[in-house]
Amino acid sequence: MKKVTHIFLPLCMVFAMPLLVFSGDFDGSAPLLCALVETFECDGVENCQPGTPQDVNIPQFLRIDFKSNMISGKQVGGEKRTTQINNMVKHDGRLILQGTQEGMAWSMVIMESTGKMTLTASGEEVGFAVFGACTPN
């Protein structure tokens, strides 16, 4: 029985440790790298088109720097794009970021437990929904 306890306890610690390490990674205390995977562009009530980040002219990867309140990424052609985080709120296990850019309002929600993210942006008669995931940078 002692031998089982000596093996079981360290195994439990090994498997529990990542949960402790990652629990604070998505709370706005450390920079993140987010991969944007799937997009939807809507220009009317029933006209939404699925696509990729490149289809809607946004970077595939975004870096979130909470110290400078900036999000940045590079287009496929190498052009760097940045946007200011104007508002950040933690609520019910979610990190919510908001801002504006080029006449559009955007909002990003990152699940603190998993790093999964949803980004929405809206402008005059157009809306975007983008789904992806973040990891510590």
Per-residue pLDDT of 59-117, as tens digits, reads 999 999 999 999 999 988 888 999 999 999 999 999 999 999 989 999 999 999 999 99
Residue 8 has pLDDT above 80, yes or no: no
What is the rounded average pLDDT of the residues 126-136? 95
Q: pLDDT value at position 76?
A: 81
Average pLDDT over residues 111-126: 94
| Predicted local distance difference test score (pLDDT) of residue 24 | 58
The residue type at 17: M
Residue 8: exposure state from Cβ atoms within 10 A (0-12, 13-18, ≥19): exposed
pLDDT digits (tens, 9 = 90+) for 36-59: 999 999 997 778 999 999 998 899
Least confident of 3-12, 24-33, 128-137: 3-12
Domains recognised in the chain with CATH numbers: 25-136 (2.40.160)
**CA–CA distance, 135 with 96 (Å, rounded to integer):** 16
Q: Are 104 and 1 in contact (CB under 8 A)?
A: no
What are the CA-CA distances from residue 18 to residues 6, 12, 21, 25, 90 (Å)? Answer: 20, 11, 5, 11, 22
Rg over CA atoms, the chain: 19
